[in-house]
Amino acid sequence: MTDQSSERSSAAIDYIAVEESPRFQKLKRTQRSFIFPLAALFLIWYFVYVLLGAYATEFMGQRVWGDITIGLILGFGQFITTFAITMAYVSFAGRKLDPKAQEIREELEKAEAQS
């Protein structure tokens, strides 16, 4: 059944050991403790916005400045948070994830080459 994996899995590497290694566990924790809260945050903020759009139309239609309504401002807010989260993630991944991932990857590649 696992014809695909037999093709790529190099028997030399004990993935279970790698996965259980503290270094990998730390990488995984670092990644998840960043992306999960952030994902929850933007999803909640988006759904608050959608629910306001669906059920609080009068509130959303209030003018704040000229013809700019609360709805438009919150909508622009969604754009801004999306761009901000994107930049935050890129900087985080570049600083905290990439070097660790690369370290482990290179070791695995070396181990594979030796076998």
User: Can you give the binding site for another protein, defined by CB under 8 A?
Assistant: 1-10, 15-16, 18-20, 24, 27-28, 31-32, 35, 38-39, 42-43, 46-47, 49-51, 53-55, 57-58, 60-61, 63, 65-69, 71-72, 75, 78-79, 82-83, 85-86, 89-90, 93, 98, 101-102, 104-105, 108-109
Cβ proximity to another protein: between 5 and 114 the closer is: 5
We find the least distance from the C-beta atom of residue 22 to another protein, in angstroms, to be: 14
What's the residue count for the chain?
Answer: 115
Distance in Å, CB of 37 to another protein, minimum: 10
- Answer for the pair 2, 105: CB distance below 8 angstroms, yes or no: no
What are the CA-CA distances from residue 68 to residues 11, 19, 22, 51 (Å)?
A: 63, 53, 53, 20
Supply the minimum distance, in Å, between the C-beta of residue 92 and another protein.
Answer: 10
Residue 64 φ then ψ, to 5°:
-105, -45
- Report, in Å, the least distance between residue 64 CB and another protein: 11
Q: First vs last Cα of the chain: how many Å apart? A: 26
Cα separation, 39 vs 23, in Å, equals: 24
